[in-house]
């Protein structure tokens, strides 16, 4: 495993991505849960409970090798990515809800991500294996996640104008760095990448489609507005793949486990775009229901 990828190639992109998230956050984004508690709870239940069950069902159905199966569970447990906000804006979702969900879920993931990962290792991997969570590395990864977010929030509080100016460049840099992380993760397994793509390409595609669908249709069935359902769909369908890759490579130290997140990191963007176009073209996002509250979105 390339040590440069672990020491520089992962921490720097992850820190920049989370700094970009912090630039878009204010304390109100955490307090907003009191304004739409039902929407937040439904989306979080889909993210934290339904999605891991969907991933587990797919892994069992396809009979994935143990290490790839653990990799998919890590992916399923990772929080939504900041790009979900952009997709939600493009397809008329409730961007404010996206921001709130990303903020809350990123904090909750400090607990749920290692719990689900530890369970997956215990379930799929032979007990005689020396694979396991390295808690000192886990603390380092979450420090890289949380500290940049807090710095970004501090910058926005001190200079909102500067934060607004930096929003687009940081988002662009995050997308480029995510691509480089994905390429790096695949490069570490270059000798087996063709085999891995054949094994996980289809299940990654299905998981992305199901994630978006669960995130959209469950909230709609439970009475949320169209824009809230769209926000939930993108939040649940677009994962923080960089965090999932860091979890596999840094905390566990297994490159094979990073493959599902790397493949998903490539596939989720065109699939999410296609999903948004299909929903919009079907007129699902046409006219809000009578009496539905306006989306409290905020310019980003």
pTM, two decimals, is 0.79
pLDDT at position 214, please? 95
pLDDT at position 9, please? 61
pLDDT at position 15, please? 80
pLDDT at position 102, please? 83
CA atoms of 81 and 264, how far apart (whole Å):
12
Distant-in-sequence, close-in-space partners of 121: CB < 8 Å, separation ≥ 6: 70, 131, 132, 133, 252
Length of the chain: 300
pLDDT at position 293, please? 44
Q: Which CATH number, 3.90.180.10, 3.30.450.20, 3.40.50.720, 1.20.1530.20, labels domain 3-280?
A: 1.20.1530.20
- Dihedral angle sign, alpha carbons of residues 211, 212, 213, 217: positive
pLDDT at position 129, please? 61
pLDDT at position 198, please? 84
pLDDT values of the chain reduced to their tens digit, one per residue, 300 residues: 445 555 556 677 778 877 877 887 777 767 767 777 899 999 999 999 999 999 999 999 999 999 999 999 999 999 887 778 778 878 888 888 888 888 888 888 888 998 999 899 989 987 656 666 666 667 777 777 788 888 988 998 888 888 888 877 877 777 777 677 777 767 766 777 778 788 899 999 999 999 999 999 999 999 998 889 999 999 999 988 888 888 888 788 788 898 899 899 888 989 999 999 888 776 554 444 433 444 444 444
pLDDT at position 290, please? 36
Q: Which of 60, 37, 114, 51 is nearest to 80 (CA)?
A: 51
Provide the H-helix boundaries in 125-159.
135-158
Helix, strand, or coil (residue 298): coil
pLDDT at position 296, please? 45
pLDDT at position 10, please? 67
What separation in angstroms does the CA of 174 have from each of 23, 78, 160, 179, 187?
13, 17, 20, 9, 20
Q: How far apart are the first and last CA of the chain?
A: 38
């Amino acid at each position: 495993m390339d040590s440069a990828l672990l020491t520089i190639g992962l921490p720097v992109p992850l820190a920049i991505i989370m700094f970009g998230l912090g630039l878009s956050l204010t304390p109100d984004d955490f307090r907003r849960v009191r304004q739409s508690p039902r929407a937040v709870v439904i989306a979080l239940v889909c993210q934290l409970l339904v999605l891991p069950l969907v991933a587990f069902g797919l892994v069992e159905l396809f009979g994935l090798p143990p290490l790839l199966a653990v990799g998919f569970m890590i992916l399923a447990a990772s929080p939504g990515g900041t790009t979900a906000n952009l997709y939600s804006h493009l397809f008329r979702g409730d961007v404010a809800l996206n921001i709130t969900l990303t903020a809350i879920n990123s904090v909750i993931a400090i607990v749920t991500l290692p719990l689900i990962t530890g369970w997956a290792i215990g379930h799929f991997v032979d007990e005689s294996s020396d694979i396991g969570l390295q808690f000192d590395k886990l603390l380092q990864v979450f420090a890289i996640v949380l500290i940049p977010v807090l710095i970004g929030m501090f910058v926005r509080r001190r200079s909102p104008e500067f934060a607004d100016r930096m929003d687009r460049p940081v988002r662009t840099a995050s997308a480029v760095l995510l691509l480089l992380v994905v390429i790096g993760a695949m490069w570490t397994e270059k000798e087996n990448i063709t085999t891995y793509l054949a094994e996980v390409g289809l299940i990654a595609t299905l998981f992305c489609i199901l994630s978006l669908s669960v995130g959209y249709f469950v909230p709609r069935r439970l009475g949320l507005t169209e824009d809230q359902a769209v926000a939930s769909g993108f939040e649940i369908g677009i994962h923080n793949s960089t965090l999932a890759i860091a979890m596999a490579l840094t905390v566990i130290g297994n490159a094979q486990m990073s493959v599902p997140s790397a493949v998903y990191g490539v596939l989720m963007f065109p699939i999410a775009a296609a999903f948004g176009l299909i929903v919009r073209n079907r007129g699902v996002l046409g006219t809000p229901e009578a009496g539905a509250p306006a989306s409290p979105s905020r310019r980003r």
